[in-house]
Structure 1
Amino acid sequence: MKMKKLTAMGMAALMAATMIPAVPVMAEGEGKVYYLNFKPEADEAWQNLAKAYTEETGTEVTVVTAASGQYETTLQSEMAKSDAPTLFQVNGPVGLKNWKDYCYDLKDSEIYSQLTSDAYALKDGESVPGIAYVIESYGLIVNKTLLEKAGYTLDDIKSYDQLKTVADDIQSKKDELGIKGAFTSAGMDASSDWRFKTHLANLPIYYEYKDEGVDDAAELKGTYLENYKNLFDLYITDSTCDPAELSAKTADDSRNEFVNSEAVFYQNGSWEYAELAKTFSDEELAMIPIYFGVDDENQGLATGTENYWCVNKNASEEDIQATLDFMNWCVTSETGTKSMAEDMGFTIPFKTAVAPTNVFVKQDLENTEAGLTPVSWNFTTMPSEEWKNGVGTALTAYAAETGSWDDVVSAFVDNWAMEKALTE
């Protein structure tokens, strides 16, 4: 079984590698930076920031962005090369298990001293192999103009029951409103399915962990999978398309449906702000919690990080130092902090952070100040990409009525225990 898994991963890595442009070879003795970026939506901003740093310092910075859903296989492929990434990322403790032997200890670095809280350091005993570089939120993005056209305001949606009532009503009069559905397509293509097999799947894990008083578990009871079903059912019935079509719907499809005002609700995160701001004003946009029917009156947005920078300790001393300098510049310089706040829409956990212009980030802060509890990101404890893919496959079959919800529960609970056992 393990041999089959390794073979499949190797083939995926090889396929991903064919999509990666060649990394320029620098003259010997010159420090250089090769950043393997996790975020496709921030690629343009990172390319611009890398260019600005090179112009200012003379240090060559290459940014390569992995395709959506292909980061781990791309990283495996690139790390096997002689010109491997000097800067990469892991998603938290689970991801670190695969890569900690490659991680430079950042505990004495300048960037570590810039953190606003030690909570943003990813630790392994006394060492610091990773540092969080962005704090983000996700929830339901709302087109307030369309919502008001349908006869509602944000004040009408403060719970799952109210969300369902409003969404069902909008769906029933979609033709009258000139839209295609209440929700954008819950696309299960690889570019989009992470929203449901990871981000939406975080909620039943969050509430179960909360009940059990833990921050990880070798086994899950599946206590809140009925709530998970209720949300997913709402997404696929009050939708812009037939549920059977979801297997081919992409992230771009979903975004375009929202941008074109074909749907009122769009599950996604604060990282979408820069793209949506090209079409909408701040007054037209809002982000509300993904109400789960558990503790709705106290629930805030899902806020956290799965983005930890790591430096490749196997790089040359010159490249390691160049990489550390680049990281520190990104989070302390006016150019770097402005780009991360405005172009990328990031809230960064560093002392010199620029106040965010991102309306979704502002709403998260307002929610917290109002006493709402942010939903923590527990999907970093998911046992493997294979587990996520199993959940995604089961959700896709369920939506198309070629599988049952029992299959989703089995993929969630049974496969969790099996995959966790393999990582011990």
Structure 2
Amino acid sequence: MKMRKIAAMGLSAVMAASMVPALPVMADDAAGKVYYLNFKPEQDEAWQNLAAKYTEETGVPVTVVTAASGQYETTLQSEMAKSDAPTLFQVNGPVGLKNWKDYCYDLSGTDIYSQLTSDSYTVKDGDAVDGIAYVIESYGLIVNKTLLEKAGYTVDDIKSFEDLKKVADDIQARKDELGVKGAFTSAGMDGSSDWRFKTHLANLPIYYEYKADGIDDTDAIKGTYLDNYKAVFDLYITDSTCDGADLSAKTADDSRNEFINGDAVFYQNGSWEYGELSKTYSDDELAMIPIYFGVDDENEGLATGTENYWCVNKEASEDDIQATLDFMNWCVTSDEGTKAMGEDMGFTIPFKTAEEPTNVFVKQDQAYTESGLTPVSWNFTTMPSEEWKNGLGTALTSYAAGAGEWDDVVSAFVDGWATEKALSE
């Protein structure tokens, strides 16, 4: 019945179909296999390498398939309808869990659960532990300190939205003199990039509304801080490396490459980008500052949290379930696993055996928190659906191109929220 239910959802998937090539023959004493449907395209190569290393060490076949950006849910629906379904998948939090809780193996009492540093890094249905967070990340504005200093500023000059706007406007006005194309990298609205604005930037007005109202979810978002959202997005599209009309086709790679090439000073993204950026820049050249929102800037830290919870498919065979649990535990306890997750993937993992971070953005997040700043929590896990995000993304793209009004963005945010929440009941 469950498999027919998923098949009925019938959505085709697009994948960056990445599989471990030529898996070794399973050792005589090895039982079971692992199929991991990975959420993070930027960590695909690292996962492939780690899976191959585990297979080489244990003889247990591990297949990693990576869903294309923005296609995880549809890929999961398609793959779970197959006879050889993923044994390890993920949900983005309580909202995502609603669709998949009937497929989640209870992780309480498992070795990996005992390794968690806090029970808060779980999603539960009653007493059952349905998912375990495997990474804590931060995002904000990544800064090329060398270019910023060339413009006559340091990160200490930016402590508020007003400061950010003043500095960015000045850099934009002097871009030819400074040898850059813009203050900010392109706010690309291609599917590989738009999650940065319809999810990560959109988290800020949700965070501040929840904080003001003393809640952690709502069926009717009010949009109290959408003017602040507009102010930041306006800055992104006016002080940019390209015109707003070009953003619909700009990709995540475009934005990253603009930063790597020194075309822009600021780049909204997260700690997961450290591995790529550190190939070009030293730690001394990089910083991450909060996305100052003009609400409580003096107390605002980086946006820190997770939407990445591992779940084990209880419909898999007993051998495959055990093989999957063993692989997960190895990833977060072995020298090879913790090194790969900490260094190659740039993760902070919430487990007792985590290595000290080498990621400069993670270190800066810790420093901000230790200085008394409040991390912005990840509330986008309460966004009602992918359809809501897509509607918001469409409205933002049209607005950036000058073809739509900000009122359309407000409607997509507020009215779309109410509609999608009602449909999820």
TM-score band by shorter chain is over 0.9
Asked if residue 144 in structure 1 is aligned to residue 145 in structure 2, the reply is: yes
Contact 2:16 2:68 in 1 (8 A): no
Superposed displacement of residue 30, structure 1: 3.3
Contact 2:146 2:285 in 1 (8 A): yes
Provide the rounded CA distance (Å) in 2 between the counterparts of 1:95 and 1:145: 41
TM-score w.r.t. the length of structure 1 is 0.96
Query: What is residue 84 of structure 2 aligned with on the other side?
Result: 83
Please list the CA deviations of residues 256-286 of structure 1 after superposition, one character each: whole Å capped at 9, or x if unmatched.
Answer: 0000000000000000000000000000000
Contact 1:17 1:78 in 2 (8 A): no
CA 1:128–1:23 in structure 2 vs 1: closer, same or farther (change >3 Å)?
farther
Provide the rounded CA distance (Å) in 1 between the counterparts of 2:391 and 2:221: 15
SS in 2 for 1:14: coil
Provide the rounded CA distance (Å) in 2 between the counterparts of 1:135 and 1:17: 25
Query: What is residue 297 of structure 1 aligned with on the other side?
Result: 298
Query: What is residue 67 of structure 2 aligned with on the other side?
Result: 66
Q: How does 1:396-411 map to 2 (within 5 A)?
A: 396-411=397-412
Provide the rounded CA distance (Å) in 1 between the counterparts of 2:21 and 2:322: 19
Contact 1:274 1:345 in 2 (8 A): yes
Provide the rounded CA distance (Å) in 2 between the counterparts of 1:147 and 1:15: 42
Provide the rounded CA distance (Å) in 2 between the counterparts of 1:18 and 1:162: 40
Worse overlay, 187-196 or 121-130:
121-130
SS in 1 for 2:12: helix
Q: How does 1:306-325 map to 2 (within 5 A)?
A: 306-325=307-326
Please list the CA deviations of residues 320-376 of structure 1 after superposition, one character each: whole Å capped at 9, or x if unmatched.
Answer: 000000000000111100111110010000000001100000000000000000000
Provide the rounded CA distance (Å) in 1 between the counterparts of 2:8 and 2:413: 22
Q: How does 1:6-405 map to 2 (within 5 A)?
A: 10=10, 13-16=11-14, 19=17, 30-405=31-406
Contact 1:23 1:83 in 2 (8 A): no
Contact 2:186 2:237 in 1 (8 A): yes
Q: Number of aligned pairs? A: 417
Provide the rounded CA distance (Å) in 2 between the counterparts of 1:320 and 1:96: 19
Please list the CA deviations of residues 122-151 of structure 1 after superposition, one character each: whole Å capped at 9, or x if unmatched.
Answer: 111110000000000000000000000000
Q: Which sections of structure 1, spanning at least 5 residues, go unmatched?
A: 1-5
CA 1:283–1:64 in structure 2 vs 1: closer, same or farther (change >3 Å)?
same
Q: Which sections of structure 2, spanning at least 5 residues, go unmatched?
A: 1-5
Q: CA RMSD in A?
A: 1.9
Provide the rounded CA distance (Å) in 2 between the counterparts of 1:287 and 1:281: 14
Provide the rounded CA distance (Å) in 1 between the counterparts of 2:196 and 2:162: 22
Provide the rounded CA distance (Å) in 2 between the counterparts of 1:159 and 1:151: 17
Please list the CA deviations of residues 87-115 of structure 1 after superposition, one character each: whole Å capped at 9, or x if unmatched.
Answer: 00000000000101110000111100100
Superposed displacement of residue 23, structure 1: 9.8
Provide the rounded CA distance (Å) in 1 between the counterparts of 2:341 and 2:18: 24
Superposed displacement of residue 121, structure 1: 1.2
Superposed displacement of residue 22, structure 1: 10
Please tell me the residue identity of whatever aligns with 2:72: Y
Contact 2:203 2:378 in 1 (8 A): yes
Please tell me the residue identity of whatever aligns with 1:40: P
SS in 1 for 2:412: helix
CA 1:335–1:23 in structure 2 vs 1: closer, same or farther (change >3 Å)?
closer
Provide the rounded CA distance (Å) in 1 between the counterparts of 2:14 and 2:189: 20
Please tell me the residue identity of whatever aligns with 1:104: Y
TM-score w.r.t. the length of structure 2 is 0.95
Please tell me the residue identity of whatever aligns with 2:14: A
Contact 2:184 2:265 in 1 (8 A): yes
Provide the rounded CA distance (Å) in 2 between the counterparts of 1:331 and 1:312: 19
Worse overlay, 18-27 or 99-108:
18-27
Contact 2:180 2:263 in 1 (8 A): yes
Please tell me the residue identity of whatever aligns with 2:292: Y
- Percent identical across equivalent pairs? 80
Superposed displacement of residue 422, structure 1: 1.0
Please tell me the residue identity of whatever aligns with 1:326: F
Please tell me the residue identity of whatever aligns with 1:405: W
Contact 1:136 1:304 in 2 (8 A): yes
Query: What is residue 3 of structure 1 aligned with on the other side?
Result: none
Please tell me the residue identity of whatever aligns with 2:337: G
Please tell me the residue identity of whatever aligns with 1:14: S
Superposed displacement of residue 17, structure 1: 6.1
CA 1:8–1:375 in structure 2 vs 1: closer, same or farther (change >3 Å)?
farther
Provide the rounded CA distance (Å) in 2 between the counterparts of 1:115 and 1:152: 41
Provide the rounded CA distance (Å) in 1 between the counterparts of 2:262 and 2:300: 27
SS in 2 for 1:211: helix
Worse overlay, 116-125 or 201-210:
116-125
Provide the rounded CA distance (Å) in 1 between the counterparts of 2:7 and 2:322: 35
Please tell me the residue identity of whatever aligns with 1:295: D
Superposed displacement of residue 16, structure 1: 1.9
Provide the rounded CA distance (Å) in 1 between the counterparts of 2:151 and 2:7: 52
Contact 1:17 1:77 in 2 (8 A): no
Provide the rounded CA distance (Å) in 2 between the counterparts of 1:39 and 1:217: 28
Provide the rounded CA distance (Å) in 2 between the counterparts of 1:122 and 1:273: 27
SS in 1 for 2:326: helix
Provide the rounded CA distance (Å) in 1 between the counterparts of 2:221 and 2:331: 39
Superposed displacement of residue 310, structure 1: 0.2
Please list the CA deviations of residues 281-318 of structure 1 after superposition, one character each: whole Å capped at 9, or x if unmatched.
Answer: 00000000000000000000000000000000000000
Please list the CA deviations of residues 18-44 of structure 1 after superposition, one character each: whole Å capped at 9, or x if unmatched.
Answer: 957699999899300000000111111
